[in-house]
Structure 1
């Protein structure tokens, strides 16, 4: 992998990448959807999601310590399953879920930006702004690692400070009460399946830590710093999510949070700070989504390039000059654009959650079954991570089957096409 520059990312830079991805989709795009599934006590779901993610991250930390790589999860899967259909398919599911996340963040950018002008979130305007952001992310990503890590680190710090200011102000206006603002008079009781399903979306909001694993060989002292960066990113994001969720819950009835779920953070600023608070929140959303897109594109393009180098996925140059990583960057941006145009925020997030949880379970099984000795992983922790994923995925699929079966069908199509397509491609490769 001579195209990747070792030691070009510092520990702070890696944390910036992780939090850059997480604190964008997580709090701006998913907060309202989590509230819709979990009800008035939805802030607690972020704690549960953080705990589940902590168990999940253990497998990635142990593998990163043993196999630091710019291909991250792709290389981990090769070590666990070899260069076969399971490895290629699971790696592609990870890549697809990351691209889905990019389209989610891009549409969030469009939705919040329109709040400045008091314009209704019409589909074509949101899609147009989303595509513009993705083009900008492409331009930044061809500028080099040093610029990317500096940009994402500075922006991540700014948005974290800004969000904490928002949360502190919101809680101060509400008298720092832990009681939610109320139901608004028509909220329905949530069942246990719906509450567990909400955890799936919070897990999606934490999945940005995998961005760090995909830059493993480029991080200084990766055997130690990858794990440190993952733990730090999850911890910082959990704290920010929790205080923001409580601030929103304290200022806005659950019905209003659900009604404005695509821009609930901006709506929550209105009773606490008025129109200036809305503008401030929208500004934070724009900063957060821009940094999130850049960090995510940075990671997934490298992962796809490594899979291409290992002949695990098909690749065509289509006449483009330059190295493979630049080509995968183009593919990543184009697919994210298509998804951002075709799907709304809720469905993008739901499909992404399903694909990510399936991939995550494959990773845990690989560590438990094949790599526990090599990595020194604790089988009880890895087994618990697998079981928690299965419970959350089962509840989420059940809820979507009863409320929006299209999400399940689209996810199933993605899974079938990915596994069957990779099986056909690898079979063809072996015959050559």
Structure 2
């Protein structure tokens, strides 16, 4: 007889540092009413760099996060973010640490410490929850607040509210931020980006939107990446104003009836997305991406990295109570002209257990890695994700998960949720690509 195991409370946001899902476009994440609403977006400016400046008393110093040093002092790794002082010298995210320190010889480089940033992020959220009931942690350094209780307030009242919030964050945590306020989440997020650092931007009415938002390029909007923007440019659409002028039928033609209309509503500032609290439904898709500190030609070590990604992916799926049977894997290579090999794979049925997904993935990944290595490529990173999620919990006719295996993972989750992730893990998790900028779970 199987004994039910209570796995405890899952932290599905821990170690997730890059949001890749469009959480405003899903139908079940929007308000059903068309009533005007008011949102506030908080962007903690250069958050990782700020935290490091605070911890080491390096205010005013050009600093970057993400690198490490060889024994001879040579900088290695990639710039994850940098302070505004460093950016003034041309240091940019994604730049090699070696190149960054050539640009600015007295640049300070520190390794990323996501546990530290997560701790500061929790403190930020505690401050914000003193200002409103509904606070969404969009990422470690971005938050949305539902301030609909101020939707009829004057501009002066909104400015005072934003100033008080900003000063409270500085007084309590010595951190600075930018704030955007608007009638949609999309416009609030765009607004917070306009006056960095420490700025407050309020899109109060149509005149504000015409002056501040409409001139922005369309690829500033959620869901419009490089490929979609290229399609829109071919149609003569460059700015948000261009999109508004042409109307939603063009977007439906390019991106489908439903998604095209949603994208247009975001462009027009008419999206009705809810501020998602901890109890909010899961995102449409889940994925994991990790770039190694250095390249490798050892396929066994890459398998260890894939296992790490699958563990986080499955943990989050179990936390959200969802499963999947269609996935993708991405093998990134060290090459200037070609990014790598991306493929799809299926499990025998819907599951969120590591073993099923790992076996299905490696069946295709091993021969693909062998071909890449045989052709002289080195491997630089891995990516994994779901192609669709199932929330129905319906039993399948030709597949059922092994009950003992499910009990094992629930017991593992229970211990890790109680004592910290990584308390219990498979031995294969210790096998991976060496490097000083690798962290166990990243998304």
TM (norm. structure 1) is: 0.28
Larger relative CO (CA 8 A, sep 6+): 1 or 2?
1
Q: Which has the higher helix share?
A: 1
Of Structure 1 and Structure 2, the greater strand share is in: 2
Which structure is larger by alpha-carbon Rg, 1 or 2?
2
